Amino acid sequence: MKTFYSDAHLAHDPPEEFEAGRLTPAVEVPARVERVRAALLQRDIGPILDAGEFGDEPILRVHDSDLVCFLGEAHDHWREKYGVDAPAAIPSAWPSRGHKQRRIGHIESRLGTFAFDTATPIVRGTWAAARAGVNVALSAAQAIRGGDRSAFALTRPPGHHASADVFGGYCYLNNIAIAAQWLADQGMRPAILDVDYHHGNGTQDLFYGSADVFFASLHADPEFAFPHFLGFADETGSGMGEGKNLNIPLPEGTDWPRYEEALNHAIGQIKAFGPDVLLVSLGLDTFVDDPISRFALKHHDYFRMGAIIEDAKLPTLFTFEGGYNIDAIGTITANVLQGFQDT
Ligand code: Q9C
Ligand code: ZN
């Protein structure tokens, strides 16, 4: 399968994130994608191609123009306020109950209005990287549209936590949602499978009321895991989208037998929806030695994951999401793609 890539991601290189009450070294770093790229070059998976340019229109089909405008200028405004040597922009105050949302005005009020956590810093290169990441996802979607059986969008920053007008969870623009909407706008019927350790709250929210896109997510139970406020089993969709959203929250320590059962169930529900394209939010933070997660999948389990996804017998677009064990990320990502391809 073809892999799509852009070196613009290298410019998004935040040194730190604010998490668990302190500034800590960032885990969503350029080495993640570079390690995957190196692993793919070593294996017989297919060519790595540069992304094309798709413009703003596909982004604005999914995201509110206020968020897009904010992300484009946030770092400039932050530097005007705190100086050219200022650290990454991180919010420190939020509009809570009884407060006003502030979409225009001071950088601090806009940061709090558009962000939902403190772990998603904005540095000088963030916007260019996020923007290019969308082009990577759309390039993969175009390959699928052109008849390819599968494609891999090797993109960062990740996207599945970002909704129409909120960013967070290391995500700024929702790459997979933009690709799914782009395919739907061309008459396709997409299903999205999210196998990242964290619930894809942004993707769920974007399609929650829609009958046209099915969303299924396997993830750590929000009872104990980020994003804490969404991803529960009773979230099944609303209005026209009722029954088109499937959450499977899983306990700490989930290993392959338990994961496989949930994955097979999700694939069954996806097939019942009758999609003609499958998009996979491919997070690799389910790995046993992931530094921020608590599942227990091993290297070889990822071949099986790829094989089960192949079993849906659909054109399949994989989009890179989380996964923070730098030494394992290349191998386990390639294992999924190879498990899919060799089945
Ligand atoms: N103690 C993705 O994997 N902080 N985002 C979690 C854990 C944010 C993860 C804190 C995690 C975001 C794409
Ligand atoms: Zn994740």
Question: In this structure, which residue's CA is closest to atom 12 in ligand 1?
Answer: 169
Phi (first) and psi of residue 18, to 5 degrees = -100, 120
226 lines ligand 1 (CB under 6 A): yes
Distance 239 CA to ligand 2 centre (A): 28
Mean pLDDT for the stretch of residues 140-161: 98
Q: What are the tens digits of pLDDT across the range 213-259?
A: 999 999 999 999 999 999 999 999 999 999 999 999 999 999 999 99
Nearest ligand 1 atom, CA 20: 1
44 pLDDT above the threshold of 90: no
Give the integer Cα–Cα distance in Å for 152 and 109: 37
DSSP secondary structure of 137-176: HHHHHHHHHTT-SEEEE--SS--TT--SS-BBTTBSS-HH
Give the mean pLDDT of 278-304.
98
Please tell me if the CB atom of residue 18 comes closer than 6 angstroms to any atom of ligand 1.
no
Three-class SS state of 256:
helix
The arithmetic mean of pLDDT across residues 93-104, rounded, is: 97
Band of residue 343 on the pLDDT scale cut at 50, 70, 90 = confident
22-25 and 16-19: which strand pairing? antiparallel
Task: Over range 151-175, report the average pLDDT.
Answer: 99
Task: Tell me how far the alpha carbon of residue 239 is from its chain's centroid.
Answer: 25
Average pLDDT, the chain: 98
- 305: pLDDT strictly greater than 90: yes
Asked whether residue 43 carries a pLDDT value surpassing 90, the answer given is yes
The catalytic residue among 161, 198, 199, 219 is 161
Calpha distance 231→62 (Å, rounded):
20
C-alpha of residue 104 to centroid of ligand 2, in Å: 30
Q: Are 110 and 103 in contact (CB under 8 A)?
A: yes
Contact call for residues 125 and 156 (beta carbons, < 8 A):
no
> 220 CA distance to ligand 1 centroid (A)?
11
9-21: pLDDT as tens digits: 999 999 999 999 9
In sequence order, the 6+-apart residues with CB closer than 8 A to the CB of 137 are 4, 153, 155, 159, 175, 176, 178, 179, 317, 319
Pocket probe mutation, ligand 1, options 24, 196, 226, max atoms within 8 Å of Cβ:
226
Ligand 1 proximity of 321 Cβ (cutoff 6 Å): yes
* Residue 325, token pair as written in the block: 């064990």
The residue-averaged pLDDT of 30-38 equals 98
For 314-337, write each residue's pLDDT tens digit: 999 999 999 999 999 999 999 999
Q: Is the CB of 169 under 6 A from ligand 1?
A: yes
User: What are 128-144's pLDDT values in tens digits?
Assistant: 999 999 999 999 999 99
Known catalytic residue: 161? yes
Q: What are phi and psi of 111, to 5 degrees?
A: -60, -45
Q: Is the CB of 170 under 6 A from ligand 1?
A: yes
247 CA from centroid of ligand 2 (Å): 15
Which residue type does 71 have?
L
Angle at alpha carbon of residue 156, lines to 154 and 162, rounded to 5° = 120
Could you give the percent of the chain with pLDDT greater than 90?
99
Provide the whole-model pTM.
Answer: 0.98
